[in-house]
Structure 1
Amino acid sequence: MVRGQWYEDEEAGLGGQFVDELRHIVRRIRELPSQFPEIGRGTRRALLKRFPYAIYFLLRGEADQRAALILAVLHHSGAARLFGRNALETKAERANSALAPTPAGSGRILSVHFRPRSPDP
């Protein structure tokens, strides 16, 4: 995980804290994905509390067999540039049309894609 290493290089222990918080948010998505707001066309956003990152994901399947598909983990400053509202909605539409019905298992994470932002000079 590139960003975790960047934080670790900035301050000892900070990279681990970043990874721990990211894992905590992923657990929350697994447990109750509907607690996070929908930001457009089925895409939901979960914000990390201490770090300026958000996880963008879709919900798939029926209520009793719901699964989350993580589209991206993005730094707030890069989210609009890399995934403007229209681009994020287009990616969500492609994911919705390309995926087969989800397997049984509430909150199962199907895929994780990281797009770290490059460090500022």
Structure 2
Amino acid sequence: MKVEFLKLAQQELDDAFEYYEYQQTDLGYRFVEEVYNALDLIKTYPLGWSLVSKHTRRCLLKTFPYGVIYQKQENSILVVAIA
């Protein structure tokens, strides 16, 4: 299943990467890796997380205080926010 990011969601991911990388070397990379690990789970179990609105779900990250906010489309996952 394909994953697409809204421009704002991609910007949120980039901003969080920069913030964590500024805090500690390689921490930004660990953050992005955790986001993509969550996306792998979401692709496998797209309906496995709680609804936050009618068509939108949130998968919380394990280590960082963020979640992947997404919508399951017919043949893809649309990431609407990293928050």
Q: TM-score, with normalisation over the residues of structure 1?
A: 0.53
Query: C-alpha root-mean-square deviation of aligned residues, in Å?
Result: 1.3
Unaligned runs of 5+ in 1: 75-121
% identical equivalent positions: 29
Correspondence for 2:82: 73
Correspondence for 1:43: 56
Structure 2 SS opposite 1:16: helix
CA distance in 1, matches of 2:73, 2:31: 27
How many residue pairs align between the two structures?
70
Correspondence for 1:105: none
CA distance in 1, matches of 2:15, 2:52: 27
The structure 1 segments of at least 4 consecutive aligned residues displaced by more than 4 Å after TM superposition are none
Correspondence for 2:46: 33
CA distance in 2, matches of 1:12, 1:68: 30
Correspondence for 1:3: 16
CA distance in 2, matches of 1:71, 1:30: 15
Unaligned runs of 5+ in 2: 1-13
CA distance in 2, matches of 1:67, 1:2: 24
| Offset, 1:39 | 1.9
Work out which of the two has the higher radius of gyration on C-alpha atoms and give 1 or 2.
1
Quick check: 1:55 aligned with 2:68?
Answer: yes
CA distance in 1, matches of 2:79, 2:43: 11
The 5 A counterparts of 1:106-121 are none
1:17 to 30, 33, 40: 30
| Offset, 1:2 | 2.2
Q: Which has the higher contact order (CA 8 A, sep 6+)?
A: 2
The structure with more strand, counted as a fraction of residues: 2
Q: TM-score, with normalisation over the residues of structure 2?
A: 0.74
